[in-house]
Amino acid sequence: MEERLHYTKVSPRAFAVLLDLEKYLRECGLEEPLLLLVKLRASQINGCAYCLDMHWKDLRAIGENEQRLYSLDAWRESPYYSARERAALTWTEAVTRVYETHVPDEVYEEAKKYCSEKELADLTVAVAIINAWNRLAIAGRITPGTYQPVKRGLKKVA
């Protein structure tokens, strides 16, 4: 498949704004593994090959357990995720599928049990941004496989 759009070349300012949002998310206080799991799960739902490749590699680079990655598609039936991660994944799915779910009150109430208002706002921004990246990558036919993560240490979830 040939790439259609090269965003960094034809719309560098828009691309830079999205990167600024990513920088904010890295500094907002949400745990890196949680943010990356959310990005991977939304990318699974959207079928974004480039982002699946990227976030799988990012999670492995911070030392994430492969068992958790292999089971992410079936996280509800898997014992590998904390209650906070489960609430965040439920929220991610509802926000990603907003056209179907309209983000039900019960999903919001469950997320509020494990996230402060700021954390939930930041999590929503993270879900919105990964959905934007997914749409850009899919529409632009961005080729997966070339991304290489920066090596970092795993930050444990509190």
Summarize the confidence of residues 120-149 as an average pLDDT: 96
CA–CA separation, 76 and 80 (whole Å): 9
CA–CA separation, 150 and 5 (whole Å): 25
pLDDT at 152: 55
125, 21 in Cβ contact below 8 A?
yes
Instruction: Enter the tokens of residue 140.
Output: 């632009």
CA–CA separation, 60 and 36 (whole Å): 10
pLDDT at 158: 42
Indicate the DSSP class of residue 64. -
What is the dihedral sign for C-alpha 119, 125, 126, 131?
positive
96 has a pLDDT exceeding 70: yes
pLDDT at 91: 98
Indicate the DSSP class of residue 81. S
**Does the domain made of 31-140 have the CATH classification 3.40.50.720?**
no
